[in-house]
Each structure stands twice: as C-alpha cells, then as structure tokens.
Amino acid sequence: MEAFVFVAHNMVKLIGILYVVQLLVGAFNWSARDTNVIYRLLRFLTSPVTRAVRAVTPAAVSDKYVPVVAFGLLFWIYIALIALRLYARRPELFQ
C-alpha cells in the first residue's frame, strides 16, 4: 500500500510540474505556442489528464480552462496523498 501511495504521489507531482512548465514555455511566445515543439510535447504528455478532466467537467466549462481545472484537481490530490502518506507513517497525529 505504501509503495502504491509513493508512486501515485510522485506521478501527481510530475504531472503538476509538467503543467507548470507548459505554462511557462507557452508564456514566452503565447501567440505561436502551438508551433513550439517543446510546448506540443508537454501538451502531449499532459493530454491524458486533460482528457479525463474534460470528461468529468460540465459542458459550460470552456476547453481553454480545462488544464487549469486539471492542475487544481492534481493539487488537491497531491495534498490528500501527502496526508495519506503521513497517516501511514504516523497515525498518532490523526487521533
């Protein structure tokens, strides 16, 4: 169980970092970001999470906001996994 939580924690952290890097790369040349090879690679790496979040968000949410929602969701999953790892190591803190 602890190994699964460890792997999930690091995967969520990695995908969150990829979203932040994608934002930073896109910010340097916002108008031509879709032609940037690095930006397209980062978008490809984060696309499974973006598609999953698009599937659960209402249709009223525009497609340009879905990566922001995905990052927010990943942030809260990251916080929950930190609490779960802390509970697994020191359960007396939660009594």
* Model confidence band, residue 58 (pLDDT cutoffs 50, 70, 90): very high
Task: Kindly report, residue by residue over 38-55, the tens digit of the pLDDT.
Answer: 999 999 999 999 999 999
Main-chain phi, psi angles of 80, to 5 degrees: -65, -40
The residues, ordered by sequence, that sit 6+ positions from 5 with a Cβ below 8 Å of its Cβ are 81, 84, 85, 88
Q: Is the pLDDT of residue 30 over 90?
A: no
The whole-number pLDDT of residue 94 equals: 80
Torsion angle of alpha carbons 31, 34, 37, 42, nearest 10°? Answer: 110
Q: Is the pLDDT of residue 23 over 90?
A: yes
**Predicted structure pTM score:** 0.86
Question: How far apart (Å, rounded) are the C-alpha atoms in residues 40 and 29?
Answer: 13
Q: At what angle do helices 66-89 and 2-28 cross, to 10 degrees?
A: 150
